[in-house]
């Protein structure tokens, strides 16, 4: 999916805009949030609807989405090993 449809671009812009609004309005510790509880719930619902539609579009395009959130503080479940092949044996006939 190299070129996004108009709907996909709209969804991306809306998700980014909502995230920016949340960042801009989030108060410091101990300060009451300027948005009402209902507005916060509505924003969460919008994020859910956007994510659901993005999943539908990916499925309709036949793309398998294996992306999952990755948390930096979660221990890794696998270890990467460096592999150095052994030197090639010479083919000298003595």
Answer yes or no: are the C-beta atoms of 54 and 14 closer than 8 Å: no
pTM: 0.62
- 94 pLDDT above the threshold of 70: no
For residue 51, how many C-alpha atoms fall within 13 Å in the half-sphere facing its CB? 10
In sequence order, the 6+-apart residues with CB closer than 8 A to the CB of 35 are 25, 43
What per-residue string of b and e applies to 26-36 under the rule 16 or more CB within 10 Å gives b?
Answer: eeeeeeeeebe
Q: Which helix H or strand E contains 27, and what residues bound it?
A: none
* pLDDT digits 0-9 by tens, 42-75: 999 999 999 999 989 988 888 777 766 677 787 7
Q: Is the dihedral of CA 22, 24, 30, 31 positive or negative?
A: negative
Which residues are CB-contacts of 14 (< 8 A; sequence separation ≥ 6)? 46, 50
């Amino acid at each position: 999916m190299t070129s996004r449809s108009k709907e996909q671009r709209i969804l991306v812009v809306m998700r980014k805009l909502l995230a920016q609004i949340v960042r801009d309005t989030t108060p410091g510790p101990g300060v009451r949030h300027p948005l009402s509880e209902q507005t916060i719930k509505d924003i969460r619902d919008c994020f859910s609807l956007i994510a659901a539609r993005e999943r539908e579009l990916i499925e309709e395009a036949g793309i398998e989405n294996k992306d999952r959130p990755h948390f930096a503080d979660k221990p890794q479940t696998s270890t990467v090993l460096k592999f150095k092949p052994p030197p090639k044996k010479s083919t000298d006939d003595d």
